[in-house]
């Protein structure tokens, strides 16, 4: 089981250090933290597994605001998220550039958690599998079944809304993704200590990508404990 905490634009270096002082990880579960760029160095210094929230596909260049895989490696970062729906929806990321980011990071020796998922409108119009297929196949084409690639299924309608996919909805989407690309699939979208065990008990759910509930050391530890027993 892999449990990843995506802190989004929360916790500068000081708050990150306070979090790690208070966080007590259970044994038997792989835990990854994705702090904002400015807190990566402080997080790496704890010895924990740290991923960035994005990564560019070129090693260097005139790309204001971007950070490369080589730079992350120099800092001791282990991997990166790519294709989070907030990046896709608010910052114009496409299936093509998400795939390029994933491939570059994997080739540079980083791990990658690549996010996919449908919007509410797409689900309601019956297009969930079509959307997942397009997103996953772009990743599969760029990266194949790379051993350091993990997929995160994050239905957009469940992110930060308190609405979680039912365990059956998550299981169906994960099994579909798994049929397209044989890599582990994490579930993300309003995962909380109260619903983690049931989601993680689904056969095709290999872990979780947690947003809001990863910001509090006690609630994140509770989710990690649920994973360690499922
Ligand atoms: P929430 O857990 O806050 O819904 O966020 C999920 C997410 O986007 C993790 O990447």
Phi-psi domain of 56 (left: phi exceeds 0; alpha: psi -120 through 50; beta: other):
beta
CB neighbours of residue 138 within 10 Å: 21
Strands 149-153 and 185-188: parallel
The yes-or-no verdict on residue 163 having pLDDT over 90 is: no
**CA 194 – CA 175 distance, rounded (Å):** 23
- Asked if pLDDT for residue 161 goes beyond 90, the answer is no
Region 90-119 average pLDDT: 98
Q: Residues 42-60: pLDDT tens digits?
A: 999 999 999 999 999 999 9
Proportion of the chain above pLDDT 90, given as a percent: 94
Candidates 84, 93, 118, 174; catalytic one: 84
Is 90 exceeded by the pLDDT of residue 38? yes
Predicted pLDDT of residue 56: 98
pLDDT band at 229 (very low <50, low <70, confident <90, very high): confident
Structure tokens at 21: 């002082």
d(Cα 112, Cα 223) in Å, to the nearest integer?
21
At residue 48, the pLDDT reads 97
Q: Kindly indicate the confidence band of residue 166, based on its pLDDT and cuts at 50, 70 and 90.
A: very high
Report the distance separating Cα 38 and Cα 71, nearest Å.
13
Instruction: Tell me, yes or no, if 84 is annotated catalytic.
Output: yes
The answer to whether the CB of 83 falls within 8 A of the CB of 53 is no
Is the distance from the beta carbon of residue 190 to the nearest atom of ligand 1 less than 6 Å? yes
pTM over 0.95: yes
Q: Is 198 a catalytic residue?
A: no
Does the pLDDT at position 160 exceed 90?
A: no
Q: Quick check: CB of 34 below 6 Å from ligand 1? A: no
In the three-class reduction of DSSP (H, G, I as helix; E, B as strand; rest coil), residue 8 is classed as coil
Nearest-5° Cα angle at 4, 29 to 171 = 85
Question: DSSP character for 164?
Answer: P
Residue with CA at minimum distance from ligand 1 atom 2? 211
Read off the pLDDT of each residue in 69-85 and give the average, rounded to a whole number: 98
pLDDT at 230 over 90: no
pLDDT(25) > 90: no
- Measured in Å, residue 61 CA sits from the centre of ligand 1 at 31
pLDDT confidence band for 67 (50 / 70 / 90): very high
E strand or H helix at 1: none
Contacts of residue 67, Cβ cutoff 8 Å, sequence gap at least 6:
37, 52, 54, 55, 56
Looking up tokens 């582990």, which residue turns up? Answer: 184
Q: Phi first, then psi: what are they for 132, rounded to 5°? A: -65, -40
3-state helix, strand, coil split of the chain in percent (to 5) is 45, 15, 35
Mean pLDDT of the chain: 97
The predicted pLDDT at position 26 comes to 87
Average of per-residue pLDDT across 116-124: 96
What is the pLDDT, as a whole number, of residue 90? 97
């Amino acid at each position: 089981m892999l449990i990843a905490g995506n802190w989004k634009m929360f916790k500068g270096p000081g708050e990150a250090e306070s979090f790690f002082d208070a966080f007590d990880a259970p044994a038997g579960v792989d835990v990854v933290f994705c702090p904002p760029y400015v807190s990566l160095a402080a997080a790496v210094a704890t010895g924990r597994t740290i991923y960035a929230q994005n990564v560019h596909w070129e090693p260097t260049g005139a790309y204001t605001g971007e950070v490369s895989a080589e730079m992350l490696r120099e800092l001791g970062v282990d991997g990166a998220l790519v294709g989070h729906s907030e990046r896709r929806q608010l910052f114009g990321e496409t299936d093509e550039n998400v795939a390029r980011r994933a491939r570059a990071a994997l080739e540079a020796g980083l791990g990658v958690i690549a996010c996919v998922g449908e919007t509410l409108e797409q689900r309601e119009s019956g297009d969930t599998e079509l959307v997942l297929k397009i997103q996953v196949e772009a990743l599969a084409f760029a990266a194949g079944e790379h051993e350091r690639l993990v997929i995160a299924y994050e239905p957009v309608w469940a992110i930060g809304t308190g609405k979680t996919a039912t365990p059956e909805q998550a299981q169906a989407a994960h099994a579909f993704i798994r049929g397209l690309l044989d890599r582990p699939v994490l579930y993300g979208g309003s995962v909380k200590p109260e619903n983690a065990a049931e989601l993680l008990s689904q056969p095709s759910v290999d872990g979780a990508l947690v947003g809001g509930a990863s910001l509090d050391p006690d609630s994140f530890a509770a989710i990690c404990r649920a994973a360690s027993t499922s």
